[in-house]
Structure 1
Amino acid sequence: MDPELLKRDGPIKTYLLEDEVRLEEFTKLVKYFVEISEEDGSAKCSCGLFEIRGILCRHILAVLKCNGIKSVPAKYILDRWRKDIKRRYTLIQSSYDGENQRVDEESYILIRLTWFLFSGAEQYRT
């Protein structure tokens, strides 16, 4: 899958990539078009994987590599993929959690303990 430069329109380059798509025993050659801007490093592929799922496709990655871009531009690293973003929905401690997360964890443990005691008291009252 080697990117082929189709056209250059100012800072925007359009590449053609041919990729094999396999469905069971059937293999089909599919053409994808990737546009990349030299100004801001933005890229868009005709497969639409980033727009649909938030995941960079291998077509864009191949074009970035072809243009000598060694790291993924920050705009393509969504918060859901980052470990340094504090998430409210989980209290599982991990190696990248800070000390502030510990207070949340202790609060969660106290709430669970209170619920457990309350549930047990209800059983013995009746």
Structure 2
Amino acid sequence: MFRNVQIEFVKKANCRVSVVAEEGPVVCMKVEEEKLVNDTILCVPYDVHFDRSTQEVRCECNLFESSGVLCCHYLEVFHSYKVYKVPNRYVLPRWRKNIKRKHTYVKSSHDVSRSDESHVAFKGLCSHFYNIAQDFVNDDEETALLHAALEETRAKLTAHRAKKRSESVADSHNNISSQSSNLSV
């Protein structure tokens, strides 16, 4: 993803912005991108609308809407209007480094062999769940009971996790208190 954004930043150098119309805070622009096609430089125009009050941008290339990557046209408009920090609406959670993805436990063919404990535990749980589901999937009442049991177990595990977190916070608070009292002695 970084490389895709980097490519758009490089392409930004080949863009020129010209204002077509202004209606209050909304500016309608033409962004011309120079592209090399068969040893010929073509200027391809794109219509871009920029709202100066909300810093919202719309470009007819629809790169952001289709792939979640800011196009070079957005970037050039931001630069022209001195928007040096990308507005939060354009930083999608799926591209952040710190996102927790549930599918990361699913092994794919391009993974290096993973033997970490969480993957082994996940695989074991999936196998167990699969076997239980296979035994009770043919009866609607049993399936409903299994769903209810899983939700009840989820609630218990969530409560257990919250309790562990509060205990660890209390322990660290007690350790800090005892260390500060030892220092004053």
TM-score normalised by L of structure 2: 0.49
Distance 2:49 2:20 in 1: 10
SS of the counterpart of 1:3?
Answer: strand
Task: Tell me if structure 1 keeps the 8 A contact 2:16–2:33.
Answer: no
From the two aligned structures, give the one with the greater strand fraction. Answer: 1
Cα distance in 1 for residues equivalent to 2:18 and 2:71: 17
Identity of aligned residues (%): 29
Q: In structure 2, what is the Cα distance between the partners aligned to 1:4 and 1:22?
A: 21
- Give the match for residue 32 of structure 1: 46
Ranges in structure 1 where 5+ consecutive residues have no aligned partner: 93-101, 115-126
Listed one character per residue, the Cα deviations across residues 3-28 of structure 1 (whole Å, up to 9, x for unaligned) are: 11221101101121111223344442
What per-residue deviation string (whole Å, max 9, x for no partner) do you get for residues 47-82 of structure 1? 111122221100110100111111111111112101
- The equivalent of 1:70 in structure 2 is 84
Which residues in structure 2 correspond to 1:6-45 (within 5 Å)? 6-45=20-59
Supply the AA of the counterpart residue of 1:32. Y
Q: Report how many aligned residue pairs link the two structures.
A: 104
Aligned Cα root-mean-square deviation (Å) = 2.6
**Greater gyration radius:** 2
Q: Deviations over 1:67-106 (max 9, x none)?
A: 11111111111121011221111149xxxxxxxxx98446
Higher helix proportion (structure 1 or 2): 2
Q: TM-score, normalised by structure 1?
A: 0.69
